[in-house]
Chains A and B, each alone.
Chain A
Amino acid sequence: MNDSENILEELDRILQNGLDALQQIQDEAQLVGWRTAHLGRSAPVMQVFARMGSIPKELRQQVGQKANQVKVALENALEERAAVLRREALERKLTAERLDVTLPGRLPAFGRAHPATQALDEICAIFIEMGFQIYRSPEVETEEMNFELLNIPAHHPARDMWDTFHTTTPGVILRTHTSPGQIRAMREMAPNPIRVILPGMVYRYEQTNASHEMQFNQVELLAVGQHITFADLKGTLESFARRMFGENARTRFRPSYFPFTEPSAEVDMECFICGGKGCGVCRGSGWLEIGGCGMVHPVVLQNGGYDPAVYSGFAAGLGPERIAMLKYHIEDIRYFWANDIRFLEQF
């Protein structure tokens, strides 16, 4: 009786000793030592199992159960302690690894498209959604293509509207607008319907300053078919303005004059900076000029190979750099071709 009670008490002690020792454990190595000492082959609880044969038969079950409980309890305590230690170790590691997150990041080498390309692409993408196709034509043109065929005869007052770079080859100039592409596109596609955008560089004989450049991009729009109206022109450009500047963008069409369109219009857009209330960018007027447009002049249709009695069309011209200048508040158009990296990297 005494013996068995002693063994049961001993098991309680073994458990208590094991748990007390475990509380002192601070690292993985000590934990391995503890395991050997308290759960290894020669550990006290294991010794009890080893002595099982010498325990009176009637007590064996009770002692066996108790020893087992002690072993399981020690094993569980070991697991728990190990988990705590792992967690503590991890916390120490994480603390030690803490960075100064305010240090600057390591920059990837990344490039950007030129802002003029970005503006051009943005405009073209909108018209492509509407079914327009990109059509390109030469930057060096004949006077005939650039003027005569567009209903701008030599010595016509309208010639004053374009200051032209002439070349030493008679009759060859730098195109003053993308409009010669209208004739080229029409001649290539007549009598099929046309919806093209003509993007590209144009040239003006003009002293450069903050708002004038000798070269700049244009995007011209041309639609030719049998049922194309001024109302379509308005609708198309209004849709464009809403896609480009937001759903609330309001446009205004003012009569104007271009020799290659009739009726002709100037397109104003409600200033998107001040919402039409007037600001520095719109010079207080609430409106911004964004381009010119009109119905293709019958003479131009004829020159392109379309019978103006049957076909009609519209054309419009937009300035990507000008639109970018408005959108990003760029104060000097000369920034575009100066290619200062400090300017380009802002886009």
Chain B
Amino acid sequence: MKIPLSWLKDYIEIDLPLLDLARTLTMAGLEVEEIQLVGLPDPYAGLPADTPREFKVTGLSWQPDKIVVAQIDEVMPHPNADRLVLCRLNDGTGEIIVLTGAPNLFEYKGKGPLPKPIKVAYAREGARIYDGHQPGQVLTTLKRARIRGVDSFSMVCSEKELGISDEHEGIILLDDDAPTGVPLVDYMGDAVLEVSILPNMIRNASMIGVARELAALLGKPLRYPQAKLPEKGPSMKGKAAIRITDPTLNPRFVLGLVEGVTPQPSPYWVQRRLRLAGMRPINSVVDATNYVMLELGEPLHAFDYDVLVRRAGGGSPTIITRAAEPGEKLTTLDGVERTLEPFTVLVCDTAGPLSLAGVMGGLESEVSPQTRTVLLEGAAWNFVNVRRTAFHQRLNSEAAYRFSRGVHPALAEQGVVLCLQRMAEWSGGQVYADLVDEYPLPPQDPEIRLSEADVRRLLGIELNAGQIAEILNRLEFTCRVEGDEVLAKTPPHRLDIGSGETGKADLIEEIARIYGYQNIPSTRLADPLPLPRSDAALEVEKQVRQALIRFGLQEVINYRLTAPQREMRLYPPENRPPEPAYLTLRNPLNPERAVMRRSLLASLLDTLEKNARLSERLALFEIGPVFWPRQDQVLPDEPIFVAIALSGLRQPPAWDNARPPYYDFFDLKGILECLGSDLHLQPLRFEPAAHPSLHPGKSAELFSGDVRLGVFGELHPLVKEQYDLLTPPVIVAELDMQAILASRQSRRETQPVPVFPPVLEDIAVIVDEDVPAVEVEKAIWQGGGKMLRAVRLFDIYRGEQIGAGKKSLAYSLTYQADDHTLTAAEAAQIRQRIIRRLEQQVNARLRG
């Protein structure tokens, strides 16, 4: 909402400097987003250079000695140019001849000395103004020039040149009472505050609304505009009738009448105010409705009364308000034919729809330059219907903006009276002495009982009932103090105050705002603490994250939104499962982000792909939810997974080790083994896996105790081809966080540190190629008994020495007893038992 300072001053005396004014509003919830100077000096000028720019200041300051009010006494033709004129101008210091091409002076050309001088904004040589001939706002300094043989060093200005609007067709023609020779900034220097209106403060989307807030904040009186209907004049009896079919849609409808108007350009100050507030002046009739809407916050609508009479077949029109029939059509004043929905409320007459209630007028009944009698509508509408209509029709009118947030019905009458008065002032005509007013559903302006304890309980400040009442009075609540309680009646201009506890909270917010948030103390919570509670899933997630980071992996976080075809890349093209059920967006931003992901691994591979050419070593993981819709639930399951991807160099390359080997299966297996021991999971078990995304010979399922944690291995070459990746193999894992949580050991014990020395020895055995290492190791453990403390595979050999189809596995073994030093004989015994087991269980034979 653009608030011209000069307009605000119609209703309240303001002596605060501009920045203080902006701060006062901002700290009360009317955030000033920008201060646009329209002539007034820059409030930061003259302050130290390191003063923070608390508010954004734009616009133009008019130099008092360079830009002044002047009068044109005669407009003369230019000797060499038809499209230019010469003005005999007085700027208060004397007579000057000024050259201009302003078309709005042409009508005075060659008429000799003017009976009534034309007041203009005059810029002297050296004035800094905007260049009228360039698009946008480009600053320029007036310099002496010779145009068509005539010296030109000064000019009469358009609004664009002075930063009032982008209007550049003609020069500003000031009102006749403008004082010649006075600096223009003193006459009409202004600033526009761009105030952001919160959704619950639509009452402040008007000059009076903002002035009312300021009055409350500054403790100053508010001057309402004086408006009343003429005491004598024609009556509306028999001139128009109103029929409201549903008061919940249309709680009030008011009509007034003015006849004998002549639509014409509004006075210059009216036009300027409308432009500063962001509206375009049309003519004095339409301008009056817009002016009063900006002034009071009540959108109004002017009908050409004669059109309505014609539509009524020459009789008196009846205004009917009702919901639209499905498929009903209306051409709005923007010339668009609109098909209506049943939630749209219409203003109709007996011949059919006239306008979209609260949103936009219809084309046919709109006022025109020929309009002589105006039937003026002020009404109240159900905000939900207006909102839905404006949204559906994509119409963001000033009226819809206000009505869709709720305008108090009391304003309908005030608005009509004020507007009729302004219309007659600016357009001539006779205002009728009464109104037609249907008011079937007045709102309940809630009366709230608020105690000192309520304020203390919610704000933590001590105010007595008198102080509470005083604050609310300033906002025009009617208050009665009863002991330590205040009974506050909501003023009839706002709909944002509820009843009961909500009403109390509404009032307390108002008290806090006016009291000043900055004046409320800061305290530490003194309320009892809740019982401690833990989130085991969150804790295990943190442990996994920390472990993987310690193992050298980088965490990534992806968009949870993806596309099914993106996830389908996880499968070889000839082995794709049917597309699973996705949680699908109804309004995706783009097709690439249309569903919630089902696979964390797919997300992670997307990231790997993006980084494939950025780093020779990629070790990434993500922890996060996937989304699995379920037939039997409204909301999807959101299980949390951890996905890991390794690719490229196993270690960061160095100058003495430029090509470390690529990551392979056993790097990831090692990470998973460490993860298991770091989190104290039940012992891990690995079984060959058959997973369509993974290399059939280089993949495994991971179990902890009986719980399946997930699967890992090298990406299947056909899957890898789906991604834009480089040579190195990609090793991936996907584990279920819930399973990890379930497989944590509930209890663990430590072992004493041994005091007797161990016996170390190596053993190498030859087995068939297809015997898994885990079987060999199992036999060693079984044979070794309790004195065997450690088994470590340190070499695998294949070759001619042992024959084809065989492999030799060499283990380093540690024997130890808790209570004595092992003898050589004991060690030999253990070794014999191990060898026997190996022979029996895996058909091994000792090597060498």
Question: Does B709 sit at the interface, judged by CB under 8 A?
Answer: no
| Interchain nearest-CB distance for A333 vs B (Å) | 13
Q: Is the CB of A229 within 8 A of B460?
A: yes
Q: Is the CB of A341 within 8 A of B618?
A: yes
Among residues 368 to 407 in chain B, which have CB atoms less than 8 Å away from a CB atom of chain A?
Answer: 383-384, 387-388, 404-406
- Chain A residues near B387: list those with CB within 8 A: 155, 157
Question: Does A34 sit at the interface, judged by CB under 8 A?
Answer: no
In the complex the two chains form, what is the Cα distance from A245 to B505 in whole Å?
32
- Chain B residues near A277: list those with CB within 8 A: 50, 52
Question: Does B461 sit at the interface, judged by CB under 8 A?
Answer: yes
Question: Does A94 sit at the interface, judged by CB under 8 A?
Answer: no
Q: Is the CB of B652 within 8 A of A166?
A: no
Question: Does A51 sit at the interface, judged by CB under 8 A?
Answer: no
Of the candidates A157, A193, A208, A286, the one having the most CB atoms from chain B within 10 angstroms of its own CB is A157
Q: Is the CB of A116 within 8 A of B55?
A: no
B510: nearest chain-A partner, CB-CB: A263
B607: nearest chain-A partner, CB-CB: A339
Question: Does B611 sit at the interface, judged by CB under 8 A?
Answer: yes
A263: nearest chain-B partner, CB-CB: B509
Q: Is the CB of A214 within 8 A of B593?
A: yes
Q: Is the CB of A112 within 8 A of B549?
A: yes
Decide yes or no: A231 and B523 within 8 Å by CB, A157-B383, A207-B589, A263-B512 being known contacts. yes
Q: Is the CB of B522 within 8 A of A235?
A: yes
Q: Is the CB of A109 within 8 A of B651?
A: yes
| Interchain nearest-CB distance for A306 vs B (Å) | 11
Choose among A109, A161, A168, A227 the residue that contacts B526 (Cβ–Cβ < 8 A): A227
In the complex the two chains form, what is the Cα distance from A141 to B617 in whole Å?
39
Among residues 224 to 243 in chain A, which have CB atoms less than 8 Å away from a CB atom of chain B?
Answer: 225-232, 234-236, 238-239
Among residues 539 to 569 in chain B, which have CB atoms less than 8 Å away from a CB atom of chain A?
Answer: 545, 548-561
Of the candidates A166, A194, A341, the one having the most CB atoms from chain B within 10 angstroms of its own CB is A341
Choose among B28, B199, B384, B586 the residue that contacts A155 (Cβ–Cβ < 8 A): B384
| Interchain nearest-CB distance for A331 vs B (Å) | 19
| Residue interface mask B505-544, A partner, CB < 8 A = 1 | 1101100110001101111111111111101001000000
In the complex the two chains form, what is the Cα distance from A306 to B795 in whole Å?
68
In the complex the two chains form, what is the Cα distance from A282 to B52 in whole Å?
10
Among residues 288 to 344 in chain A, which have CB atoms less than 8 Å away from a CB atom of chain B?
Answer: 295, 297-299, 302, 308-309, 312, 336-342, 344
Question: Does A272 sit at the interface, judged by CB under 8 A?
Answer: no
- Chain A residues near B610: list those with CB within 8 A: 338-340
In the complex the two chains form, what is the Cα distance from A227 to B201 in whole Å?
29
B636: nearest chain-A partner, CB-CB: A140
- Chain A residues near B200: list those with CB within 8 A: 158, 257
Complex interface: stretch among A40-48, A72-80, A130-138: A130-138
A107: nearest chain-B partner, CB-CB: B652
Q: Is the CB of B52 within 8 A of A284?
A: yes
Q: Is the CB of A110 within 8 A of B552?
A: yes
Question: Does A2 sit at the interface, judged by CB under 8 A?
Answer: no
- Chain A residues near B467: list those with CB within 8 A: none
Decide yes or no: A169 and B523 within 8 Å by CB, A253-B518, A262-B506, A339-B558 being known contacts. no
Q: Is the CB of A109 within 8 A of B619?
A: yes
In the complex the two chains form, what is the Cα distance from A110 to B549 in whole Å?
7
Q: Is the CB of A157 within 8 A of B523?
A: no
Decide yes or no: A278 and B51 within 8 Å by CB, A104-B655, A215-B559, A239-B524 being known contacts. yes
Among residues 764 to 819 in chain B, which have CB atoms less than 8 Å away from a CB atom of chain A?
Answer: none
Give the secondary structure class of B's interface: loop
- Chain A residues near B745: list those with CB within 8 A: none
Q: Is the CB of A232 within 8 A of B460?
A: yes
In the complex the two chains form, what is the Cα distance from A228 to B559 in whole Å?
37
Q: Count of chain B residues with Cβ under 8 Å from any Cβ of A?
A: 105
Question: Does B218 sit at the interface, judged by CB under 8 A?
Answer: no
Question: Does A205 sit at the interface, judged by CB under 8 A?
Answer: yes
Question: Does B638 sit at the interface, judged by CB under 8 A?
Answer: yes
Choose among B405, B527, B531, B652 the residue that contacts A226 (Cβ–Cβ < 8 A): B527
Q: Is the CB of A158 within 8 A of B619?
A: no
In the complex the two chains form, what is the Cα distance from A253 to B552 in whole Å?
43
Q: Is the CB of B553 within 8 A of A257?
A: no
Question: Does B459 sit at the interface, judged by CB under 8 A?
Answer: yes
Question: Does A106 sit at the interface, judged by CB under 8 A?
Answer: yes
Question: Does A6 sit at the interface, judged by CB under 8 A?
Answer: no
Q: Is the CB of B29 within 8 A of A255?
A: yes
- Chain A residues near B545: list those with CB within 8 A: 113, 117
- Chain A residues near B585: list those with CB within 8 A: 165-168, 174
Question: Does B587 sit at the interface, judged by CB under 8 A?
Answer: yes
| Interchain nearest-CB distance for B312 vs A (Å) | 35
Question: Does A177 sit at the interface, judged by CB under 8 A?
Answer: no
Q: Is the CB of B199 within 8 A of A254?
A: no
Question: Does A142 sit at the interface, judged by CB under 8 A?
Answer: yes
Of the candidates B517, B545, B636, B652, the one having the most CB atoms from chain A within 10 angstroms of its own CB is B517
Q: Is the CB of B531 within 8 A of A111?
A: no
- Chain B residues near A64: list those with CB within 8 A: none
In the complex the two chains form, what is the Cα distance from A28 to B654 in whole Å?
39
Question: Does B689 sit at the interface, judged by CB under 8 A?
Answer: no
Q: Is the CB of A340 within 8 A of B611?
A: yes
Choose among A195, A232, A312 the residue that contacts B530 (Cβ–Cβ < 8 A): A195
- Chain B residues near A278: list those with CB within 8 A: 50-53
In the complex the two chains form, what is the Cα distance from A8 to B384 in whole Å?
128
Q: Is the CB of B549 within 8 A of A113?
A: yes
Question: Does B484 sit at the interface, judged by CB under 8 A?
Answer: no
In the complex the two chains form, what is the Cα distance from A198 to B174 in whole Å?
60
Q: Is the CB of B557 within 8 A of A114?
A: yes
Decide yes or no: A167 and B552 within 8 Å by CB, A157-B404, A257-B199 being known contacts. no
B199: nearest chain-A partner, CB-CB: A157
Of the candidates A295, A312, A339, the one having the most CB atoms from chain B within 10 angstroms of its own CB is A339
Of the candidates A168, A193, A255, the one having the most CB atoms from chain B within 10 angstroms of its own CB is A255
Choose among B202, B529, B587 the residue that contacts A205 (Cβ–Cβ < 8 A): B587
Choose among A106, A108, A130, A283 the residue that contacts B552 (Cβ–Cβ < 8 A): A108
In the complex the two chains form, what is the Cα distance from A283 to B406 in whole Å?
34
Decide yes or no: A339 and B561 within 8 Å by CB, A231-B460, A263-B512 being known contacts. no
Decide yes or no: A344 and B198 within 8 Å by CB, A229-B523, A255-B29, A298-B504 being known contacts. no
Decide yes or no: A255 and B28 within 8 Å by CB, A133-B532, A167-B583, A263-B513 being known contacts. yes
In the complex the two chains form, what is the Cα distance from A108 to B553 in whole Å?
11
- Chain B residues near A298: list those with CB within 8 A: 500-502, 504-505
Question: Does B464 sit at the interface, judged by CB under 8 A?
Answer: no
- Chain B residues near A340: list those with CB within 8 A: 610-611, 614
Question: Does B316 sit at the interface, judged by CB under 8 A?
Answer: no
Choose among B199, B531, B550, B617 the residue that contacts A158 (Cβ–Cβ < 8 A): B199
B interface residues with partner A (beta carbon < 8 Å): 26-29, 31, 50-56, 198-202, 383-384, 387-388, 404-406, 456-461, 500-502, 504-506, 508-509, 512-513, 517-518, 520-533, 535, 538, 545, 548-561, 583-589, 593, 596, 607, 610-611, 614-615, 617-619, 621, 625, 627, 629, 634-636, 638, 650-652, 654-657
A interface residues with partner B (beta carbon < 8 Å): 103-104, 106-114, 116-117, 130-131, 133-136, 138-142, 155, 157-158, 160-161, 165-169, 171-172, 174, 189, 192-195, 201, 203, 205-208, 214-215, 223, 225-232, 234-236, 238-239, 252-257, 262-265, 274, 276-278, 282-287, 295, 297-299, 302, 308-309, 312, 336-342, 344-345
For the A-B complex with A108-B552, A299-B502, A339-B557 known, give 16 more contacts whose Cβ atoms are closer than 8 Å.
Answer: A104-B655, A111-B621, A130-B525, A138-B638, A157-B405, A193-B527, A227-B526, A229-B523, A255-B517, A262-B506, A263-B512, A295-B505, A302-B501, A337-B557, A337-B559, A340-B611
Chain A to chain B: the 8 pairs with minimum beta-carbon distance, closest first:
A231-B460, A255-B29, A229-B460, A286-B52, A109-B552, A284-B53, A225-B527, A278-B52
A-B contact pairs, 12 of them (CB 8 A): A109-B652, A110-B549, A111-B552, A131-B525, A136-B535, A138-B638, A157-B202, A166-B586, A253-B520, A263-B509, A285-B54, A285-B56
